[in-house]
Amino acid sequence: MRIKGEVSIELYRRDEVIQVTEYDWGMALQIYREMGWKPQRPLEAYARPLSFVPPAEAAEMEAAGRRLFALIRDEPIISTSVRMDMGMLHRLTDFLANGSCVVGEIGAYQQALANGDLL
């Protein structure tokens, strides 16, 4: 059983990993969709391990996050309606700016490195 707020997901690629709670990743996906990202699969397909975010979709997610940040710069009150930590949303958006990634369980990145899957 997972505790709310417990880090339980890793987004990773060859040289980079970020850990996040399922709640924050799910909220980020919803925010990206509300800000214009059009998922190619059902949203749930991205929310849980093991899934893959292709390069084009990572770029669309990043652009959607940037649109929200631009709105908040113009109207700071908008940030009160965001139901997640804005710092984490920034970190996720910056991470997605670097391209595709795998959504895995905690430890998946180290396992992929050990197996030589990220060479």
The predicted model scores a pTM of 0.89
pLDDT mean for each 10 residues of the chain (119 residues): 68 94 94 96 92 96 97 89 90 97 93 83
- pLDDT value for 2: 46
Share of the chain above pLDDT 90, in %: 71
Predicted local confidence at residue 119, as pLDDT: 58
pLDDT at residue 5 in the model: 61
What integer pLDDT is reported at residue 48 of this predicted model? 85
pLDDT at 7: 74
Instruction: Provide the pairing of β-strand 101-105 with 51-53.
Output: antiparallel
Half-sphere exposure of 67 (CA within 13 A, CB side): 13
| pLDDT value, residue 81 | 83
Q: According to the model, what pLDDT value does residue 1 have? A: 41
